[in-house]
Amino acid sequence: MARRSLSNCRVVITGASSGIGRELGLAFARRGSRVLLTARREQELSAVAAECRQCGATAEALAGDVTDPLFRAALVERAVALWEGIDVLVNNAGISAHGRFAESDESTLRQILEVNFFAATELTRLALPLLRQSRQAAIVNMSSIIGHRGLPLNSEYAASKFALRGWSESLRAELAADGVEVLIVSPGTTETEFFDHLIAKRGELPWGESTAIPAAAVAEQTVRALERGRREIFPNWRGRALVAVNRLFPGLVDRALAKFLAASNNR
Ligand SMILES: NC(=O)c1ccc[n+]([C@@H]2O[C@H](COP(=O)([O-])OP(=O)(O)OC[C@H]3O[C@@H](n4cnc5c(N)ncnc54)[C@H](OP(=O)(O)O)[C@@H]3O)[C@@H](O)[C@H]2O)c1
Protein backbone atom coordinates (compact mmCIF):
# COMPACT_ATOMS: atom_id res chain seq x y z
CA MET A 1 0.00 0.00 0.00
CA ALA A 2 1.56 3.34 -1.07
CA ARG A 3 2.04 5.87 1.77
CA ARG A 4 3.98 8.43 -0.24
CA SER A 5 3.21 9.63 -3.73
CA LEU A 6 6.33 10.39 -5.72
CA SER A 7 4.44 12.28 -8.41
CA ASN A 8 5.81 15.84 -8.58
CA CYS A 9 8.18 15.01 -5.72
CA ARG A 10 11.44 17.06 -5.73
CA VAL A 11 14.30 14.53 -5.69
CA VAL A 12 18.08 15.09 -5.56
CA ILE A 13 20.17 12.02 -6.49
CA THR A 14 23.97 11.80 -6.13
CA GLY A 15 25.99 9.34 -8.20
CA ALA A 16 23.43 9.48 -11.01
CA SER A 17 25.76 9.17 -14.03
CA SER A 18 25.74 5.34 -13.98
CA GLY A 19 24.59 2.17 -12.24
CA ILE A 20 22.07 2.30 -9.42
CA GLY A 21 21.94 6.14 -9.44
CA ARG A 22 21.06 6.22 -13.15
CA GLU A 23 18.33 3.62 -12.62
CA LEU A 24 17.00 5.53 -9.61
CA GLY A 25 16.73 8.65 -11.78
CA LEU A 26 14.69 6.70 -14.32
CA ALA A 27 12.52 5.01 -11.67
CA PHE A 28 11.65 8.38 -10.06
CA ALA A 29 11.09 9.91 -13.52
CA ARG A 30 8.63 7.15 -14.46
CA ARG A 31 6.62 8.08 -11.34
CA GLY A 32 6.49 11.73 -12.38
CA SER A 33 9.03 13.05 -9.86
CA ARG A 34 11.17 16.11 -10.61
CA VAL A 35 14.80 14.98 -10.45
CA LEU A 36 18.05 16.88 -9.96
CA LEU A 37 20.89 14.52 -10.88
CA THR A 38 24.53 14.90 -9.95
CA ALA A 39 27.90 13.16 -10.49
CA ARG A 40 31.28 14.24 -11.90
CA ARG A 41 30.97 12.96 -15.53
CA GLU A 42 29.01 15.70 -17.24
CA GLN A 43 28.29 13.93 -20.53
CA GLU A 44 27.00 10.71 -18.91
CA LEU A 45 24.93 12.76 -16.46
CA SER A 46 23.33 14.83 -19.22
CA ALA A 47 22.47 11.63 -21.09
CA VAL A 48 20.70 10.24 -18.01
CA ALA A 49 18.79 13.53 -17.56
CA ALA A 50 17.71 13.33 -21.23
CA GLU A 51 16.47 9.75 -20.69
CA CYS A 52 14.48 10.91 -17.65
CA ARG A 53 12.90 13.69 -19.71
CA GLN A 54 11.93 11.09 -22.34
CA CYS A 55 9.88 9.46 -19.56
CA GLY A 56 7.98 12.75 -19.35
CA ALA A 57 9.68 13.95 -16.17
CA THR A 58 11.32 17.25 -15.31
CA ALA A 59 15.03 16.41 -15.03
CA GLU A 60 18.05 18.65 -14.41
CA ALA A 61 21.73 17.78 -14.18
CA LEU A 62 24.48 19.54 -12.26
CA ALA A 63 27.96 18.03 -12.63
CA GLY A 64 30.46 18.21 -9.79
CA ASP A 65 32.32 16.43 -7.04
CA VAL A 66 30.24 15.68 -3.93
CA THR A 67 33.35 15.79 -1.75
CA ASP A 68 33.69 19.52 -2.53
CA PRO A 69 31.82 21.64 0.07
CA LEU A 70 31.30 24.46 -2.44
CA PHE A 71 29.75 22.06 -4.93
CA ARG A 72 27.43 20.62 -2.26
CA ALA A 73 26.25 24.14 -1.45
CA ALA A 74 25.75 24.88 -5.16
CA LEU A 75 23.69 21.69 -5.54
CA VAL A 76 21.32 22.64 -2.74
CA GLU A 77 21.09 26.20 -4.10
CA ARG A 78 20.17 24.79 -7.53
CA ALA A 79 17.34 22.77 -5.98
CA VAL A 80 16.05 25.92 -4.27
CA ALA A 81 16.32 27.94 -7.50
CA LEU A 82 14.50 25.24 -9.47
CA TRP A 83 11.83 24.10 -7.04
CA GLU A 84 12.16 26.08 -3.80
CA GLY A 85 12.97 22.91 -1.88
CA ILE A 86 13.79 19.22 -1.68
CA ASP A 87 11.46 16.38 -0.71
CA VAL A 88 13.80 13.41 -1.15
CA LEU A 89 17.60 13.36 -0.93
CA VAL A 90 19.27 10.21 -2.23
CA ASN A 91 22.88 9.81 -1.06
CA ASN A 92 23.99 7.21 -3.59
CA ALA A 93 27.47 8.25 -4.85
CA GLY A 94 30.05 5.68 -3.81
CA ILE A 95 33.49 4.26 -4.51
CA SER A 96 35.59 1.37 -3.24
CA ALA A 97 39.00 -0.30 -3.30
CA HIS A 98 39.97 -3.95 -3.03
CA GLY A 99 42.92 -5.26 -1.08
CA ARG A 100 44.24 -6.05 2.37
CA PHE A 101 44.25 -3.19 4.88
CA ALA A 102 47.94 -3.81 5.67
CA GLU A 103 48.88 -3.23 2.03
CA SER A 104 46.65 -0.19 1.58
CA ASP A 105 47.29 3.40 2.69
CA GLU A 106 45.69 6.28 4.55
CA SER A 107 44.86 8.20 1.40
CA THR A 108 42.70 5.33 0.04
CA LEU A 109 40.84 5.08 3.35
CA ARG A 110 40.25 8.83 3.55
CA GLN A 111 39.10 9.08 -0.09
CA ILE A 112 36.52 6.33 0.40
CA LEU A 113 35.26 7.88 3.63
CA GLU A 114 35.05 11.31 1.95
CA VAL A 115 32.78 10.07 -0.87
CA ASN A 116 30.78 7.34 0.88
CA PHE A 117 30.33 8.96 4.28
CA PHE A 118 31.29 12.63 4.70
CA ALA A 119 29.76 13.75 1.38
CA ALA A 120 26.46 12.14 2.44
CA THR A 121 26.46 13.56 5.97
CA GLU A 122 27.40 17.08 4.90
CA LEU A 123 25.04 17.22 1.93
CA THR A 124 22.27 16.06 4.28
CA ARG A 125 23.23 18.77 6.80
CA LEU A 126 22.77 21.41 4.07
CA ALA A 127 19.51 19.89 2.82
CA LEU A 128 17.91 19.39 6.26
CA PRO A 129 16.29 22.84 6.57
CA LEU A 130 14.59 22.22 3.21
CA LEU A 131 13.62 18.63 4.04
CA ARG A 132 12.04 19.82 7.31
CA GLN A 133 9.75 22.13 5.30
CA SER A 134 8.52 19.27 3.11
CA ARG A 135 5.38 17.33 3.96
CA GLN A 136 6.76 14.09 2.46
CA ALA A 137 10.46 14.31 3.28
CA ALA A 138 12.86 11.38 3.12
CA ILE A 139 16.58 10.71 3.04
CA VAL A 140 17.73 7.58 1.20
CA ASN A 141 21.20 6.35 2.10
CA MET A 142 22.81 3.75 -0.18
CA SER A 143 24.64 1.41 2.19
CA SER A 144 25.55 -2.20 1.39
CA ILE A 145 25.52 -5.71 2.79
CA ILE A 146 29.13 -4.80 3.65
CA GLY A 147 27.64 -2.14 5.94
CA HIS A 148 26.27 -5.06 8.00
CA ARG A 149 29.04 -7.61 7.74
CA GLY A 150 32.67 -6.68 7.01
CA LEU A 151 34.24 -8.78 4.27
CA PRO A 152 37.95 -9.34 3.62
CA LEU A 153 39.73 -7.09 1.09
CA ASN A 154 36.96 -4.49 1.66
CA SER A 155 37.96 -2.96 5.00
CA GLU A 156 37.84 0.69 3.93
CA TYR A 157 34.51 0.24 2.13
CA ALA A 158 33.08 -1.67 5.12
CA ALA A 159 34.14 1.16 7.45
CA SER A 160 32.39 3.72 5.24
CA LYS A 161 29.15 1.76 4.91
CA PHE A 162 28.96 0.80 8.62
CA ALA A 163 29.45 4.49 9.41
CA LEU A 164 26.73 5.47 6.96
CA ARG A 165 24.30 2.98 8.46
CA GLY A 166 25.02 3.94 12.08
CA TRP A 167 24.64 7.62 11.29
CA SER A 168 21.39 6.91 9.39
CA GLU A 169 19.88 5.10 12.38
CA SER A 170 20.72 7.97 14.75
CA LEU A 171 19.34 10.47 12.26
CA ARG A 172 16.10 8.52 11.85
CA ALA A 173 15.29 8.87 15.53
CA GLU A 174 16.33 12.53 15.63
CA LEU A 175 14.20 13.46 12.61
CA ALA A 176 11.11 11.39 13.43
CA ALA A 177 9.36 14.33 15.12
CA ASP A 178 10.02 16.48 12.03
CA GLY A 179 8.41 13.88 9.75
CA VAL A 180 11.65 13.26 7.82
CA GLU A 181 12.00 9.52 7.10
CA VAL A 182 15.32 7.76 6.61
CA LEU A 183 15.54 4.73 4.32
CA ILE A 184 18.69 2.60 4.34
CA VAL A 185 19.28 0.50 1.22
CA SER A 186 21.68 -2.40 1.63
CA PRO A 187 22.25 -4.10 -1.73
CA GLY A 188 24.48 -7.09 -2.32
CA THR A 189 26.56 -7.34 -5.48
CA THR A 190 24.87 -5.37 -8.26
CA GLU A 191 25.60 -5.23 -12.02
CA THR A 192 27.14 -1.77 -12.44
CA GLU A 193 30.43 -0.10 -13.36
CA PHE A 194 31.32 -0.02 -9.66
CA PHE A 195 34.09 -2.62 -9.91
CA ASP A 196 35.65 -0.84 -12.94
CA HIS A 197 35.98 2.35 -10.88
CA LEU A 198 37.91 0.92 -7.89
CA ILE A 199 40.44 3.50 -6.72
CA ALA A 200 42.90 0.70 -5.84
CA LYS A 201 42.97 -2.98 -6.69
CA ARG A 202 45.45 -5.00 -4.65
CA GLY A 203 43.59 -8.33 -4.73
CA GLU A 204 40.76 -10.26 -6.41
CA LEU A 205 37.59 -10.91 -4.39
CA PRO A 206 37.36 -14.69 -3.83
CA TRP A 207 33.61 -14.76 -4.53
CA GLY A 208 33.58 -12.86 -7.86
CA GLU A 209 30.49 -11.09 -9.21
CA SER A 210 28.47 -14.08 -10.40
CA THR A 211 25.51 -13.45 -8.07
CA ALA A 212 25.00 -9.81 -9.08
CA ILE A 213 21.46 -8.48 -9.54
CA PRO A 214 20.50 -5.77 -12.08
CA ALA A 215 20.82 -2.14 -10.97
CA ALA A 216 17.25 -1.54 -12.17
CA ALA A 217 15.98 -4.09 -9.63
CA VAL A 218 17.76 -2.28 -6.79
CA ALA A 219 16.35 1.06 -7.97
CA GLU A 220 12.79 -0.25 -8.34
CA GLN A 221 12.86 -1.83 -4.86
CA THR A 222 14.26 1.41 -3.41
CA VAL A 223 11.56 3.58 -4.93
CA ARG A 224 8.85 1.13 -3.86
CA ALA A 225 10.27 1.09 -0.31
CA LEU A 226 10.12 4.86 -0.26
CA GLU A 227 6.48 4.81 -1.39
CA ARG A 228 5.68 2.37 1.40
CA GLY A 229 7.64 4.19 4.12
CA ARG A 230 10.04 1.30 4.78
CA ARG A 231 13.09 1.79 7.05
CA GLU A 232 15.59 -0.55 5.42
CA ILE A 233 15.69 -2.94 2.48
CA PHE A 234 18.03 -5.71 1.31
CA PRO A 235 17.49 -5.95 -2.46
CA ASN A 236 19.63 -9.09 -2.84
CA TRP A 237 18.35 -12.21 -1.00
CA ARG A 238 21.86 -13.73 -0.78
CA GLY A 239 23.07 -10.63 1.02
CA ARG A 240 20.11 -10.75 3.36
CA ALA A 241 20.85 -14.42 4.12
CA LEU A 242 24.49 -13.56 4.93
CA VAL A 243 23.37 -10.84 7.37
CA ALA A 244 20.93 -13.27 9.05
CA VAL A 245 23.51 -16.06 9.39
CA ASN A 246 26.09 -13.56 10.68
CA ARG A 247 23.67 -12.33 13.35
CA LEU A 248 23.23 -15.89 14.65
CA PHE A 249 26.71 -17.32 14.09
CA PRO A 250 29.29 -14.51 13.71
CA GLY A 251 32.22 -16.76 14.68
CA LEU A 252 31.26 -19.29 12.03
CA VAL A 253 31.13 -16.55 9.37
CA ASP A 254 34.54 -15.21 10.53
CA ARG A 255 36.08 -18.66 10.17
CA ALA A 256 34.41 -19.36 6.80
CA LEU A 257 35.63 -16.03 5.37
CA ALA A 258 39.20 -16.55 6.62
CA LYS A 259 39.21 -20.06 5.10
CA PHE A 260 37.72 -18.81 1.82
CA LEU A 261 40.38 -16.11 1.57
CA ALA A 262 43.22 -18.51 2.37
CA ALA A 263 41.98 -20.95 -0.29
CA SER A 264 41.85 -18.18 -2.91
CA ASN A 265 44.95 -16.70 -4.50
CA ASN A 266 44.95 -13.76 -2.04
CA ARG A 267 47.44 -15.28 0.45
N1 LIG B 1 27.55 -2.39 -7.37
C2 LIG B 1 27.46 -3.04 -6.23
O3 LIG B 1 27.73 -4.25 -6.15
C4 LIG B 1 26.99 -2.33 -4.98
C5 LIG B 1 26.59 -3.09 -3.87
C6 LIG B 1 26.17 -2.45 -2.73
C7 LIG B 1 26.12 -1.08 -2.66
N8 LIG B 1 26.52 -0.34 -3.75
C9 LIG B 1 26.49 1.12 -3.63
O10 LIG B 1 25.66 1.67 -4.64
C11 LIG B 1 26.04 3.02 -4.89
C12 LIG B 1 26.10 3.24 -6.41
O13 LIG B 1 27.14 2.44 -6.96
P14 LIG B 1 26.98 1.67 -8.34
O15 LIG B 1 27.07 0.22 -8.05
O16 LIG B 1 25.82 2.17 -9.08
O17 LIG B 1 28.37 2.05 -9.05
P18 LIG B 1 28.71 3.14 -10.19
O19 LIG B 1 28.00 2.84 -11.44
O20 LIG B 1 30.21 3.21 -10.20
O21 LIG B 1 28.11 4.48 -9.58
C22 LIG B 1 28.78 5.29 -8.66
C23 LIG B 1 28.31 6.71 -8.86
O24 LIG B 1 28.95 7.56 -7.90
C25 LIG B 1 29.46 8.70 -8.59
N26 LIG B 1 30.60 9.25 -7.87
C27 LIG B 1 31.72 8.61 -7.44
N28 LIG B 1 32.56 9.47 -6.85
C29 LIG B 1 31.96 10.69 -6.89
C30 LIG B 1 32.34 11.98 -6.45
N31 LIG B 1 33.51 12.21 -5.83
N32 LIG B 1 31.49 13.01 -6.69
C33 LIG B 1 30.31 12.81 -7.32
N34 LIG B 1 29.89 11.60 -7.76
C35 LIG B 1 30.72 10.55 -7.54
C36 LIG B 1 29.83 8.17 -9.97
O37 LIG B 1 29.80 9.20 -10.95
P38 LIG B 1 31.07 9.97 -11.58
O39 LIG B 1 32.17 8.98 -11.76
O40 LIG B 1 30.50 10.51 -12.85
O41 LIG B 1 31.38 11.03 -10.57
C42 LIG B 1 28.66 7.24 -10.25
O43 LIG B 1 27.57 7.96 -10.76
C44 LIG B 1 27.38 3.22 -4.17
O45 LIG B 1 27.17 3.93 -2.96
C46 LIG B 1 27.83 1.81 -3.84
O47 LIG B 1 28.65 1.76 -2.69
C48 LIG B 1 26.94 -0.93 -4.90
- Domain spans, the chain: 10-263
Give the HSE-up count for residue 3: Cα atoms under 13 Å, Cβ half-sphere: 12
Angstrom distance (rounded) from CA 100 to CA 20: 26
- Domain 10-263 matching CATH 3.40.50.10190: the answer reads no
Angstrom distance (rounded) from CA 164 to CA 113: 9
Any atom of ligand 1 within 6 Å of the Cβ of 91: no
Q: What kind and span of H or E run contains 216?
A: helix 215-228
Predicted local confidence at residue 1, as pLDDT: 62
Model pLDDT for residues 119-146, shown as the tens digit of each residue: 999 999 999 999 999 999 999 999 999 9
User: How far apart are the CA of 5 and the centre of ligand 1, in A?
Assistant: 26
Predicted local confidence at residue 260, as pLDDT: 87
User: How far apart are the CA of 115 and the centre of ligand 1, in A?
Assistant: 9
* 157 is known as an active-site residue: yes
Compute the average pLDDT of residues 222-240: 96
Q: In the predicted model, is pLDDT for residue 71 greater than 70? A: yes
User: How far apart are the CA of 1 and the centre of ligand 1, in A?
Assistant: 30
Predicted local confidence at residue 205, as pLDDT: 76
Beta bridge partners, 98, equal: 201
115 pLDDT band (50/70/90 cuts)?
Answer: very high
Predicted local confidence at residue 208, as pLDDT: 65
80 pLDDT band (50/70/90 cuts)?
Answer: very high
User: 117, 157, 162, 194: which one is catalytic?
Assistant: 157
Q: In the predicted model, is pLDDT for residue 220 greater than 70? A: yes
Provide the residue count of the chain. Answer: 267
Within 8 A by CB and 6+ apart from 57, the residues are 28, 29, 30, 32, 33, 34, 35
Predicted local confidence at residue 227, as pLDDT: 97
